[in-house]
């Protein structure tokens, strides 16, 4: 026999009442969700007006494998990842900003998002890719 609380609910019902949480933003208003874990010296890159943003990228500074694996989870094709690796090799190691070859790669990838080839909007793709590359380089900010 299950024990009833003063509310007339069972213990299971009382536990479930506390486990269920309503979303803080209506699902109809959510257009992009980013989960970004940034390890290293990287500042928050999210900005906006009236938007609630949360970033979660799992890229470790100096770890190319973590960068490429992250990009694969975001749907970046292997050929494009190889192009990024080449761009990283072509640019000198940056101290304060991303090099030209890598910036060109980011812009080409963002352009792919614009016509709907990719699951992101152009601006969201550019921000996500920039944040990932910055995390890889250990650079704070844009």
Cβ density class 106-131: b for 16+ within 10 Å, e for less:
beebbebbeeeebebebebbbbbbbb
Rounded Cα distance, 72 and 77, in Å: 7
pTM of the model: 0.59
12 pLDDT above the threshold of 60: no
Per domain, the residue ranges of the chain are 30-137
State the pLDDT confidence band at 123, using cuts at 50, 70 and 90: confident
Rounded Cα distance, 66 and 38, in Å: 11
Helices (H), the chain: 11-19, 64-73, 78-90, 100-113, 122-137
Which among 25, 22, 3 is positioned nearest to 14, based on CA atoms? 3
- pLDDT tens-digit readout, 13-61: 554 544 444 556 666 666 666 665 555 554 445 544 444 545 555 788 9
Instruction: Tell me the C-alpha to C-alpha distance, in Å, between residue 131 and each of 27, 28, 48, 65.
Output: 25, 26, 16, 16
Backbone angles phi, psi at 99, to 5 degrees: -75, 165
């Amino acid at each position: 026999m299950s024990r009833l609380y003063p509310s007339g609910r069972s213990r299971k019902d009382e536990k479930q009442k506390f486990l269920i949480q309503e979303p803080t933003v209506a699902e109809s208003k959510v257009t992009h969700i980013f989960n970004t874990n940034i390890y290293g010296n990287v500042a928050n890159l999210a900005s906006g007006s009236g938007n609630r943003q949360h970033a979660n990228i799992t890229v470790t500074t100096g770890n190319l494998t973590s960068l490429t694996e992250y990009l694969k989870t975001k749907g970046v094709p292997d050929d494009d990842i190889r192009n990024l690796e080449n761009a990283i090799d072509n640019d000198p190691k940056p101290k304060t900003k991303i090099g030209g070859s890598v910036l060109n790669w980011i812009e080409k990838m963002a352009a792919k998002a614009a016509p709907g080839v990719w699951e992101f909007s152009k601006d969201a793709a550019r921000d996500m890719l920039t944040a990932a590359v910055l995390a890889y380089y250990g650079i704070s900010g844009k």
